[in-house]
Amino acid sequence: MAFINASKTATRYDAIVIGSGAAGGMSAYVLAQAGMKVLMLEAGRNYDPAVETPMFQSNADAPLRGAATPEKPNGFYDATIGGWKVPDEPYVVRRKDGAWTEGQVIDRTNSQQDFMWWRARMLGGRTNHWGRVSLRLGPYDFKPKSRDGLGFDWPISYEDVAPYYDKAEELIGVFGSKEGLENAPDSDFFQPPPKPRGYELLAQRAARQLGLPMVPSRLAILTQPLNGRAACFYATNCGRGCSIRANFQSTTVLIPPALETGNLDIITDAMAREVSVDAAGKATGVSFVDKATGKDVQVKARIVILAASACESARLLLNSKSARFPDGLANGHGHVGRWLTDSTGSALSGQIPALENAPIVNEDGVSNPHLYIPWWPHKAQLAGQLGFPRGYYTWPGGGRTMPDMGTTRAILGKAGSAYGTKLKEDARRYYGSFVNFGARGEMIPNEKSFCEIDPEKQDKWGIPVLRFHFQWSDYELKQVVHQQQTFAALIEGMGGKVNGAPQLDGAKAITAGGSVNHEIGTTRMSARAEDGVLNAHCQAWEVPNLFVTDGGPFVSNAYKNPTLTILALAWRACDYAMAEMRAGNIG
């Protein structure tokens, strides 16, 4: 078994997995390792990081010095094939003036849309470019309503997921340090973190003076070899992907060993159209568009696992209508597409005189921050002293990074009208003296944020597309104002000066909904069938041989990037599905 084309499928598989990113990769890995015959469908093309990753290329080796364009919105070298706009696959959002419009490529900090949707169309999905931030949800994050009365509790607790966090971290490799911090569970599997860079130490001193913990980041990047994968060699940006497999990508860590079992077939350029069901309401398989021929193909399996990303999986369910499921599959209680959340985000930059003319050293490191500030004032927040209910983490950016158009723009901002040798002197003086702080914070699910099928628009293959409703509440807007104040205090604590001023209007400071790429919650799990789409094992309440393993099952969107939790929950769901199949209960 291997990469196949659409005409070569087996008669019936044990499982069909839709998607090949964190959720799909992990689902296929767990099932194939256990001997299940698995078919993976990926809507994008095949992708091989070993031969496609631009390692060591300078920005001068790229068109336009690697600058972002509407076609490559994160810059030329970003590994993602896809982005805010995918050819042939529109989606619909509301403009700030209230009109519906097709989602466009826009600046996420200055968006005229209330929602942006980042999609990858490639094997490995969004794991090929993600930030590698791997933070466990803590005990509070699973029971937020019990703690502060807002949002919803998960039907599971930290203890249910902890063993799977262990397994996932041991498999993918995460560096970090045991800190014993409140609601930030440590791991027994941390690899040693890299040493901080100079500007990070300066930020850490400022943080300590403010009473904030600034500790080693937790990133899915190897600092020691693991399972035949090399350790990071501290060069070239992770966002390009990694040909030496030092960071976690589904395409380097999950799919190759799954293929090696001989139990996995993969069809790329396979756009799922709907999940098929029989008269008894059982899932029988999937119908997909073979993009190579434009033809619809049906495949059958004992169980179906949706791992297409939270919103794509919701779209698939809503488009899987039948007499038995007139409002879409697993949507008997109307929860599919609802409870859509993203992380909050805001940023602030500054310049630090102490960093000017610093001795020249290599500050590449792992390309992501080596230190971060986990959320700290849990008790004051619970006591209502902060004026907003949920937290965020903060990370520093800066240093002597590989120069691009943005690097020199910051320097020129300090250099007045200098040119000639004076300009070259200023460039050496200011290079590496700029810092920026950013945050990712928790959004509480609300009634006004959801996705649904657009009444008119379809994609190239005639599949109805999503339309998004999205609104931040005051909880999030107040939180980002606090972020801005924290960033300003850190920059000033480093002896620096903020560029401009912290933005104290939350609506202006916050990034556009969806633009942090943590859009989750659209097929949430619940303790009772009427409150959600899935049970505590990511199994559809109404269709027992149907599972969702991406970000859809999340009940809260803690201030922790979702990928690690997606990996853990996917593993847990697949273990449960196989136990149920063995017991003869499903499939």
Partner 1 sequence: MPNIHDRPPMNTSPFPLTRRDALKRVVALSLALSSLELSGFGAAGARGIGTDPNLLKKEIPWERVLTAEEKKIVTVLGDLIIPADEHGPAASAVGVPDFIDEWVSAPYDAQQKDGKVIRDGLAWLDAEAKRRFGKGFADAQAKQQTALLDDIVAEGTAARKAAHGFFTNFRDKVAGGYYSTPEGWKAIGYVGNVPMPEFPGPPPEVLKHLGLA
Segment 387 to 446, residues that bind partner 1, using CB under 8 A: 400-405, 407-409, 411-412, 417, 419-421, 423-424, 427-428, 431-432
Tell me, letter by letter, the H, E, C secondary structure of 154-206: CCCCHHHHHHHHHHHHHHHCCECCCCCCCCCCCCCCCECCCCCCHHHHHHHHH
Q: Does 532 bind partner 1 (CB under 8 A)?
A: no
User: Given its phi and psi angles, is residue 273 left (phi above 0), alpha (psi -120 to 50 degrees) or beta?
Assistant: alpha
Contacting partner 1 within 261-320 (CB under 8 A): 269, 291-295
CA distance 13 to 285: 9
Cβ atoms of 516 and 470 within 8 Å: the answer is: no
CB of 282 to partner 1, least distance (A): 29
Q: Does 74 bind partner 1 (CB under 8 A)?
A: no
Residues contacting residue 100 through CB under 8 Å, at least 6 positions apart: 92, 93, 94, 467
CA distance 211 to 372: 14
Nearer to partner 1, 138 or 194 (CB): 194
Measured CA distances, 487 to 322, 347, 367, 441 (Å): 52, 8, 21, 14
Nearer to partner 1, 419 or 530 (CB): 419
CA distance 411 to 418: 11
226 strand-pairing partners: 229
Q: Does 109 bind partner 1 (CB under 8 A)?
A: no
Nearer to partner 1, 223 or 276 (CB): 223
Q: Does 461 bind partner 1 (CB under 8 A)?
A: yes
CB of 49 to partner 1, least distance (A): 10
Residue of 177, 260, 354, 384 interacting with partner 1 (CB under 8 A): 354
Widest CA span in the chain: 79
Cβ atoms of 430 and 415 within 8 Å: the answer is: yes
CA distance 405 to 412: 11
Nearer to partner 1, 102 or 170 (CB): 102
- Site track 29-68 with partner 1 (rule: CB under 8 A), x = hit: ----------------xxxx--xxxx-xxxxxxxxxxx--
* Angle in degrees, 0-180, between the axes of helices 22-33 and 563-582, rounded to the nearest 10: 30
Residue of 1, 3, 100, 182 interacting with partner 1 (CB under 8 A): 3
CB of 428 to partner 1, least distance (A): 5
DSSP 67-90: ---SSSTT-TT---SEESSBTTB-
In terms of Cα–Cα distance, which of 528, 586, 522 is closest to 548? 522
Contacting partner 1 within 200-239 (CB under 8 A): 201-202, 205, 233-236
CB of 70 to partner 1, least distance (A): 4
Structure tokens at 419: 């040119």
CA distance 298 to 315: 18
* Binding segment (CB under 8 A) for partner 1, from list 306-314, 340-348, 349-357, 572-580: 349-357
Residue of 108, 240, 315, 537 interacting with partner 1 (CB under 8 A): 240
Q: Which amino acid is at 555?
A: V
* Binding segment (CB under 8 A) for partner 1, from list 199-207, 375-383, 533-541, 549-557: 199-207
CB of 543 to partner 1, least distance (A): 28
Nearer to partner 1, 162 or 230 (CB): 230
Contacting partner 1 within 175-194 (CB under 8 A): 194
CB of 344 to partner 1, least distance (A): 25
* Binding segment (CB under 8 A) for partner 1, from list 136-144, 327-335, 356-364, 444-452: 356-364
Size of interface with partner 1, in residues (CB under 8 A): 99
Strand, coil or helix: 573: helix
In terms of Cα–Cα distance, which of 250, 228, 248, 252 is closest to 51? 252
Residues contacting residue 196 through CB under 8 Å, at least 6 positions apart: 204, 216, 370, 371
Residue of 19, 21, 25, 82 interacting with partner 1 (CB under 8 A): 82
Q: Which amino acid is at 109?
A: T
Q: Does 1 bind partner 1 (CB under 8 A)?
A: no
Q: Does 459 bind partner 1 (CB under 8 A)?
A: yes
User: Which residue has 């434009």 as its token pair?
Assistant: 294
CB of 106 to partner 1, least distance (A): 7
Nearer to partner 1, 277 or 371 (CB): 371
CA distance 564 to 439: 18
* Binding segment (CB under 8 A) for partner 1, from list 73-81, 181-189, 471-479, 569-577: 73-81
Nearer to partner 1, 52 or 148 (CB): 52
Nearer to partner 1, 295 or 582 (CB): 295
Q: Does 126 bind partner 1 (CB under 8 A)?
A: no
Nearer to partner 1, 45 or 528 (CB): 45
Q: Does 477 bind partner 1 (CB under 8 A)?
A: no
Contacting partner 1 within 364-383 (CB under 8 A): 364-366, 370
Q: Does 528 bind partner 1 (CB under 8 A)?
A: no
Nearer to partner 1, 202 or 304 (CB): 202
Q: Which amino acid is at 354?
A: A
CB of 56 to partner 1, least distance (A): 6
Strand, coil or helix: 198: helix
φ and ψ at 25, to 5 degrees? -60, -45
Sheet of 344-351, strands arranged across: 392-398, 434-441, 344-351, 497-498
Torsion sign over Cα 512, 518, 523, 524:
negative
Measured CA distances, 123 to 7, 21, 88, 250 (Å): 19, 7, 18, 8
Q: Does 99 bind partner 1 (CB under 8 A)?
A: no
Nearer to partner 1, 5 or 33 (CB): 5
* Angle in degrees, 0-180, between the axes of helices 158-172 and 563-582, rounded to the nearest 10: 110
Contacting partner 1 within 140-179 (CB under 8 A): none
CB of 299 to partner 1, least distance (A): 19
Q: Does 452 bind partner 1 (CB under 8 A)?
A: no
Residue of 13, 29, 76, 164 interacting with partner 1 (CB under 8 A): 76
Burial of 89 (0-12, 13-18, 19+ CB in 10 A): buried
* Binding segment (CB under 8 A) for partner 1, from list 325-333, 453-461, 505-513, 558-566: 453-461
